[in-house]
Amino acid sequence: MATIEELEQKTEDKMTKALNALRSELASIRTGRATPALLDRIRVDYYGTPTPINQVANVSVPEPRMLVIQPWEKNMVKVIEKAIMTSELGINPNSDGIVIRLNIPQPTEDGRKELVKQVNKKGEAVRVEIRNMRRELNDAVKKQEKAKQITEDVAKEATDKSQKLTDKFMKEVDKVLANKEKEVMSV
């Protein structure tokens, strides 16, 4: 059976992964500013393999509200265009047959409020995930205590540590959400 330290480390690693997943998911939310991260979730068919756009083309940001995608192979222009149109981005690509331009529209006030709701929803899902990880750790500690593998004091200390760890990650989630909310609401 795993030691308390190993369980705590494993839980902290899981919490870190959950936080990083939240960050990358929030990066793909459209805020009115052009960023290559908007395209991270879009896959194109590259010789039968679903591939991220940034692995088949150069993605650049020449202006604050424009993305330019320059495929490495000319035949990928139509494929990338189609993938962007069918994605949930809601942006129509402009193509001249060589490069694809994406003009990122400024979201309306209602659109920004809706985006903030999405951001908070994703944040709450990560909070629930982190609390579940804390519960799993506490359950494992209680099991070890019941089986007389650890003392009551060690169990209490481990439970306190798991709460501190949870609090630390909750603050981090709040910080990430506040930053994204500020970014979304800025005009």
Tell me the pLDDT band of 1, cut-offs 50, 70 and 90: low
pLDDT above 90: percentage of residues in the chain: 33
Residue 131 scores a pLDDT above 80: yes
Q: What is the phi/psi pair of residue 151, to 5°?
A: -85, 170
Tell me the pLDDT band of 172, cut-offs 50, 70 and 90: very high
User: Residue 60: what residue type?
Assistant: S
Spell out a b/e string for 123-151, using b for 16 or more CB atoms within 10 Å of the CB, else e: beebbebbeebbeebbebbeebbeeeebe
Residue 33 scores a pLDDT above 80: no
Domains and CATH numbers, the chain: 4-27+108-185 (1.10.132.20), 36-103 (3.30.1360.40)
Cite the DSSP H helix spans in 53-96: 76-86
At residue 98, the 3 state secondary structure works out as coil
- β-strands 94-95, 100-103: how paired? antiparallel
Predicted model pTM: 0.72
pLDDT in tens, 44-94: 988 888 888 888 999 888 888 888 999 998 888 898 998 888 887 778 888
Q: Encoding tokens for residue 6?
A: 């190993």
